[in-house]
């Protein structure tokens, strides 16, 4: 039996324009979108909500996306993660 529940994505980026752009594009593809502005919000959202994929800015103030991922991945994430940085066309993605 196929799962018909739409995938739930959490977009974590300190830049509001990046969050909005990703959210609009991915929502048009049928994904359920959650937003977080920083690593602290990421940790709260993942604890509270079922998340299938996190699109994570790796260069954020206070706690970098990579540091947040390293400290919380084993405890919080059972799904896949991808990270990005907003440097124009040189968007970097990694499967963690």
- The predicted pLDDT at position 93 comes to 46
pTM over 0.85: no
**Ranges of each domain in the chain:** 8-84
pLDDT tens string 15-73: 999 999 999 999 999 999 999 998 888 888 887 888 888 898 988 888 888 887 776 66
Rounded Cα distance, 88 and 80, in Å: 24
List, for residues 69-79, the tens digit of each pLDDT value.
776 665 555 55
Whether 94 shows a pLDDT value over 60: the answer reads no
pLDDT score at 63: 82
- Cα-Cα-Cα-Cα torsion 60, 44, 53, 66, nearest 10 degrees, comes to 30
The CATH classification of domain 8-84, taken from the options 3.40.630.40, 3.30.465.10, 3.40.50.300, 3.40.50.2300: 3.40.50.2300
The torsion defined by the Cα of 71, 77, 82 and 83, in degrees rounded to 10, comes to -30
């Amino acid at each position: 039996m196929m799962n018909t529940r739409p995938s739930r994505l959490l977009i974590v980026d300190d830049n509001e324009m990046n969050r909005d752009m990703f959210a609009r594009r991915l929502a048009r593809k049928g994904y359920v979108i959650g937003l977080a502005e920083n690593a602290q919000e990421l940790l709260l959202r993942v604890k509270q909500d079922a998340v299938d994929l996190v699109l994570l800015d790796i260069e954020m103030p206070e706690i970098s996306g990579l540091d947040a991922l390293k400290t919380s991945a084993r405890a919080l994430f059972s799904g896949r993660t991808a990270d990005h940085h907003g440097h124009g066309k040189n968007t970097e993605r990694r499967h963690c």
